[in-house]
Amino acid sequence: MLSPGEPIGAKLYGDPSPFEAKVVRNVQAKLPQYISASSRTPLQDLDGIITPNGLFYERHHGGIPAIDSATHRLMLHGLVKMPLLFSVEELRRFPSVTKIHFLECSGNPSYKRPFGKTASDVMGLVSCAEWTGVALKTLLEEAALLPGAKWVVAEGADASGMTRSVPLDKCLDDALIVYSQNGERLRPEQGYPVRLLLPGFEGNMSVKWLRRLKVVEAPVHSREETAKYTDLLPDGTARQFTFMMEAKSIITAPSGGQRIAGPGFVEIRGFAWSGRGKVARVEVSVDGGRNWAAAALQEPVLSRALTRFTLPWQWDGKPTVIASRAVDETGYMQPGFGELLAVRGDNSFYHNNAVQPWRVAADGEVSNANA
């Protein structure tokens, strides 16, 4: 005998099934503080290119501010004819743009041990969403740029007053001032009520809780673009203004912490993406990198967005290492970790886009082959 379930209206904003309660953001235990910290997307539990808003990765530098969209203002000033203040409702009146793009922290993943066990531990500081907002170009034209304008300094209204300098070219290209994510207003942890979005650039630059844009001649050299988010090399120099998130991929199934049920058919699944444009192809190795085969790319394949790939595999029950590598539309191929370390050493901290290998044991147990 069956009985009626929950009535309509029992939950006016729905939750996932209680049987999926383990699919949540991944927060490192025992951090010294959680005000400037991160949480990771559970990549291994996601089947599509859109990350649900409640599972989108977070990186905050001064906690999550509670901002009322009715009182929030965005200032646009500096080398413009007309310095302007916008309310959120005013920003929503401009012609709108909707795009699907990934966002990724440049510290994803680490260059050093421990490398983490699961796909989320390793590479969970990437997510992808459909963003809606106004093109930053539209606002800059509204204010009218003055000669000498070369950079735009973006500043957040959070307690860290997050500040990054963005090249004007990017601002006039595909930069968005976003107010909605996956169709609903931004979540507080994603910058409510308004954030910057710079497709393909390191996530830190897509300043959340955006309160000010200042058009300038030269970068401001904020703490986040000097002391942090710079890439130290073996010779002691550091790369600065390293914005681009290069092509990357990861197998999410089977991946670390999972177990293959037994020999036979296994569909290898994963995500690939590139800050330089579309993913052109993904190659998968099931023999530790000796041979590589082309995976199928699932539609849609979008510029600067997560792209899903699959490859059918007959596992023979023997231990092996599986891995994927992405090639983007510029022809750039995701490098092996050894190739990356040979050029950058292991103190660069940011922009590690190396191939992620998973070890498959005879019992089907999958673990991180880098660990």
Positions 29 through 58 that interact with another protein (CB under 8 A): 32-33, 35-36
Among 114, 169, 237, 363, binds another protein (CB under 8 A): 237
Contact residue for another protein among 136, 153, 186, 282 (CB under 8 A): 153
Q: C-beta of 150: minimal distance to another protein in Å?
A: 12
What letter represents residue 45's amino acid? Answer: D
**In whole angstroms, how far apart are CA 247 and each of 33, 110, 307, 347?**
32, 16, 11, 20
Which has the closest alpha carbon to 199: 223, 170, 179, 226? 170
Q: How far apart are CA 369 and CA 371, in angstroms?
A: 6
Answer yes or no: are the C-beta atoms of 303 and 277 closer than 8 Å.
yes
Judged by CB under 8 A, does residue 283 bind another protein? yes
Nearest in space to 301 (alpha carbons), one of 272, 332, 267:
272
Q: List Cα–Cα distances, 191 to 57, 69, 132, 162, in angstroms.
A: 12, 11, 13, 11
Q: Which of 23, 37, 159, 172 binds another protein (CB under 8 A)?
A: 159
- The least CB distance from residue 161 to another protein, in Å, is 4
Q: Is 167 an interacting residue with respect to another protein (CB under 8 A)?
A: no
Q: Which helix (H) or strand (E) holds 343?
A: helix 337-344
Closer of 98 and 330 to another protein (Cβ): 330
Exactly one of 222, 252, 255, 258 binds another protein (CB under 8 A); which one? 222
User: What tokens appear for 362 in the block?
Assistant: 């005879």
Binding residue for another protein, selected from 94, 96, 298, 310, defined by CB under 8 A:
94
Distances (CA, A) of 119 to 136, 175, 269, 285: 34, 29, 12, 17
**Looking at this protein, which amino acid is placed at residue 370?**
N
Q: Is 133 helix (H, G, I), strand (E, B) or coil?
A: strand
For residues 46 and 215, which CB has a smaller minimum distance to another protein in the complex? 215
Q: Which is nearer to another protein, 57 or 349 (CB)?
A: 349
Among 136, 357, 360, 366, contact with another protein (rule: CB under 8 A):
357
- Output the CA torsion 62→66→72→74 (10° steps): 30
Question: Which of 137-145, 168-176, 185-193, 302-310 is the region at the interface with another protein (rule: CB under 8 A)?
Answer: 137-145
Q: How far is the CB of 56 from another protein (least distance, A)?
A: 24
Find the binding residues for another protein in span 288-347 (CB under 8 A): 288-292, 321, 323, 325, 332-344, 347
Part in contact with another protein (CB under 8 A); list of ranges 48-56, 182-190, 233-241, 299-307: 233-241
**Residue 275 DSSP SS3:** coil
Pick between residue 121 and residue 155 the one whose CB is nearest to another protein.
155
Give the nearest distance from C-beta 219 to another protein in angstroms. Answer: 8
Q: Which stretch binds another protein (CB under 8 A): 1-9, 78-86, 201-209, 253-261?
A: 78-86
Q: Is 160 in the site for another protein (CB under 8 A)?
A: yes
297: amino acid identity, one letter: L
**Type of residue found at 133:** G
